[in-house]
Amino acid sequence: MTGAKLPRFPASQQDWVLLYCRVMALFVVQGGILLALYGMRGFGASPDSMPPGLRLDPMHAVIHLVTGLIGSYFGFRRPSGALTFLRVFTIFYLGLAIFGTFTNMHFGMQLEFEENAFHWPLSLIAGAIAFGMSFLPSKNASA
């Protein structure tokens, strides 16, 4: 494979922020599929009747769709706002993880163990990128 260029590894906080925001396009796919399934089965259908990996209630599907759309927008179209978005996203999802640890129903969403097993690493990784990497020295810093 001559001439093939490998993708480069993210080298800065901004690169990591953009990568995280761009991967959030998967939330759009998940939320869209779920809302389509609820549209076919009825919005009163139980989340447990959905396929594995898609067992979220309709409100939670909307949250994933909206956060995925916003994250994708900042990741692909407006990179200058991506860090601010990721910081807000971190606080929101960390809040969901904390609340979900103690209760399984809040803000109109059913948050059980599976959702929290997803929200904790999701928010902690986002937090490490959005807040933690700010404390690392930059490559361009002079000694």
- 92 — pLDDT class (breaks 50, 70, 90): very high
- 137 — pLDDT class (breaks 50, 70, 90): low
Q: Which two tokens stand for residue 73?
A: 């927008």
- Of 82-91, 101-110, 127-136, the least confident: 101-110
Mean pLDDT to the nearest integer, 100-116: 79
Q: Say whether pLDDT at 104 is over 50.
A: yes
Boundaries of every domain in the chain: 13-42+53-134
Q: Which of 96, 92, 73 is nearest to 130 (CA)?
A: 92
Name the DSSP class of 105. E
Query: Is-contact 83 17, C-beta < 8 A?
Result: yes
Q: What's the pTM?
A: 0.83
Could you list the beta-strand ranges (E) of the chain.
Answer: 105-106, 109-110
Phi, psi of 56 (to 5 degrees): -115, 150
Number of Cβ atoms within 10 Å of the Cβ of 43: 11
